[in-house]
Structure 1
């Protein structure tokens, strides 16, 4: 399995191999049953998703407020819980969106296989292999980043003999007995571990799919640039190659039409809450937190940025790649081709003029500029809160 990350030992890979880690992760968290799933799997799926998607967001948010109002937890603990709870609010939406779209995501594989089959040159196959490896690396990178945050969050309280999160459990008191205390620890670790596992999947899949589609757009640009340059091909061969390039472009657009509504909903949900999360995290870091909490909050701050940054970056790269296609069409060897070729090239040029830009619910463009704007807005909120003198009152 690790060769999918290192790339060693993999000579030929298909585009669909980029999603192996993602779909295996979906199986682990219970939203993508394996072929021969039995009752135990569905019991596991019900347990994990009921706790993480239904109960967790409610009890975490309400519980930290109740405990803070009753002076059971400190301001630092309240803010640490609040910054995580805000992220949990969007988790049910992201989970429902991706779960309902899994069949459509798997349905993209035949089209990807058809696109892969067009490329036999070593340099083209190497680019497909790179995309397959990078897709799994992205999921793994998200996972390791979130795991680091989890370790720095749970280890200091455990060393001090406290429950990692003290998530509110109705009618349950962790201070009642040693057994209750260990029960609280198990629940905290289970909830945090699988919530972060869910987040890894829903935050990484968009980057993976955009990267793979962008790779095929780069391959198409290369292919178009070679049109008419092979002296061994007849004019009919060149025309057939051009027509196949047009078909390839249409298939890429079909893939984008499939993936955009799914990414649009999950990234829009994250856009809505990212500024408030970053603001609360900065307030906790700079005004209240001790050293260990500052480290954990810093890692959490970076993880929150990670939730949207790669997807926005690859969407920006996708747009840039799409703008290279009309140039490649114009610079191919069309002047030496016949009239039929020129007619098709005009049609192709017309349809390739429109650059590809992904949108979040048709309201915000998914790009680096939007991501930076939201981060800047969180700093504006933080500055406003600081000017209110909260830090001096702490």
Structure 2
């Protein structure tokens, strides 16, 4: 059982990654000047140039399979770069969310709420470990595929301003750039994709704990009961503010992720059906297409869970001991119930709801793009 309550501790790994990939220029360091130089260098070499060096080789490879792999990699890397840029620009909002979480942590009391908190801790630790393991495996498998290849070939088809094919030193320099670049991009992707999951899970758990506090209202003196109700209403305001701040931070990164997932699903299915004949290549594209919906599923699931728990708060209000309370208590409770009935899902790009239904929307978009390819072929 966790003895210390600190919800913001689950964002610690994200801050470390944002610092390593040069996305935290506003963080106070004793070596601030050196970090700014480091951040500019990393972002120029990786965030900007890595997708561009892949994009420069689009549809100019010797084999169609290399073109398709290059296209999927380009879409994935350019979306990763765009997402980290949005996060870097709005990282001050993460500090504000940490402050709100710290306030909500002070309100956790009783065994029932501690049980919800401890269950949330187990879920988040498992999710963070899964995300981290997937990132490590992807990076390791990329390097292993290079080590065991039979011919001299880059990790990914890309353009370099030097001739790497006829120089061993330049070839390994190109490889070091690609494996270093893709490792940093995978780290960026870890922070960008797991952060919404963690925050939505934290929000959902704190709403459940608020549900317990409201449900237990009505025990004690009239002054104590009304004071506790006012504190619960304040908790609700903090949760709504946390949810709104999270939505504004992840709106465009999640929208980009939806679009990139739909495009890569479409490309993978088209490659598997029309362009690739090798069995292993088809299997590779099949699992890649299968992985895309799974990448956005955790965010959509926990976002839906948070909205559902927001929608249940009025049940907790009716479950408390309100019948024997004063008129002022009932009026405040009634106003709280009216406010709790408004539960809008978070939106990606201000248009697409971050909801489990968004997964089916992404698949529909992929199908629409696929039908467009079919018409072009005809």
Q: 2:215 aligns with which of 211, 214, 225?
A: 225
Given candidates 336, 342, 347, the residue that maps to 1:354 is 342
| TM-score, normalised via structure 1 length | 0.87
1:79 aligns with 2:68: yes
- Aligned residue for 1:45? 39
State the secondary structure of the residue aligned to 1:30. coil
| 1:62 counterpart = 2:56 | yes
Check whether the contact 2:263–2:366 (CA below 8 A) recurs between aligned residues.
Answer: yes
Q: CA deviation at 1:325?
A: 0.6
Aligned partners of 1:387 and 1:143: how far apart in 2? Answer: 40
Structure 2 match to 1:168: 158
Aligned twin of 1:16:
8
Separation (CA, whole Å) in 2 of partners of 1:362 and 1:224: 32
Q: 1:378 to 1:252 in 2, by over 3 A?
A: same
What residue is the counterpart of 1:328 in the other structure? 316
CA distance in 2, matches of 1:274, 1:325: 34
Stretches of structure 2 that go unaligned for 5 or more consecutive residues are: none
Cα distance, 1:250 vs. partner? Answer: 0.7
Residue 383 of structure 1 deviates from its aligned partner by 6.0
Determine if contact 1:163/1:185 at 8 Å carries over to the other structure: no
- Alignment-derived partner of residue 327 in structure 2: 339
Of 126-135 and 112-121, deviating more is 126-135
Query: Mean Cα displacement is larger for which, 316-325 or 122-131?
Result: 122-131
Deviates more, 1:22-31 or 1:379-388: 379-388
Q: CA RMSD in A?
A: 2.4
CA offsets, 1:199-235, max 9 Å, x none? Answer: 111111111111111111111111111111x3xx111
1:118-137 matched pairs, under 5 angstroms: 118-137=107-126
What is the count of residue pairs matched by the alignment?
A: 374
What is the TM-score when the length of structure 2 is the normalising length?
A: 0.90
Contact 1:90 1:270 in 2 (8 A): yes
Q: Deviations over 1:78-117 (max 9, x none)?
A: 1111111112232333122111211211122222111111
Return the offset for 1:39: 4.9
Residue 198 (str. 1) matches residue 198 (str. 2): no
Change (3 A) 1:387 1:151: farther
**Match for 1:372 among 360, 368, 372?**
360
2:147 aligns with one of 123, 138, 158? 158
Q: Does 1:244 align with 2:238?
A: no
Cα–Cα, structure 1 residues 246 and 350, in superposed 2: closer, same or farther, change >3 Å? same
- Per the alignment, residue 89 of structure 2 pairs with 100
In 1: Cα distance, 2:159 partner to 2:376 partner: 34
- Report SS of the residue matched to 2:304: helix
Equivalent residue, structure 2, for 1:5: none
Specify whether residues 270 and 38 from structure 1 end up closer, same or farther in structure 2 by C-alpha distance, changes over 3 A only. same
Deviations along 1:23-70, whole A, 9 cap, x unmatched?
1111121212463235554443233221221112222112233x32xx
Q: Residue 12 of structure 1 contacts residue 125 of structure 1 at CA under 8 Å; is this kept in 2?
A: no
Quick one: structure 1 residues 289 and 332, their matched pair in 2 at CA, closer, same or farther if it must change by over 3 Å? Answer: farther
8 Å Cα contact 1:139/1:201 also seen in 2: no
The answer to whether the 8 A contact 2:66-2:157 is kept is no
Deviations 1:308-333 (A, max 9, x none): 21111111111111111111112221
2:293 corresponds to: 305
Distance 1:386 1:245, change over 3 A: same
Q: Look up the match of 1:214.
A: 204
- Which residue of structure 2 lines up, in the alignment, with residue 235 of structure 1? 222
**Aligned in 2, Cα 1:101/1:388: closer, same or farther, shift over 3 Å?**
closer
Aligned partner (choices 174, 182, 185) of residue 172 of structure 2: 182
Q: How far 1:295 moved relative to its partner?
A: 5.2
Corresponding residue for residue 242 of structure 2 = 255
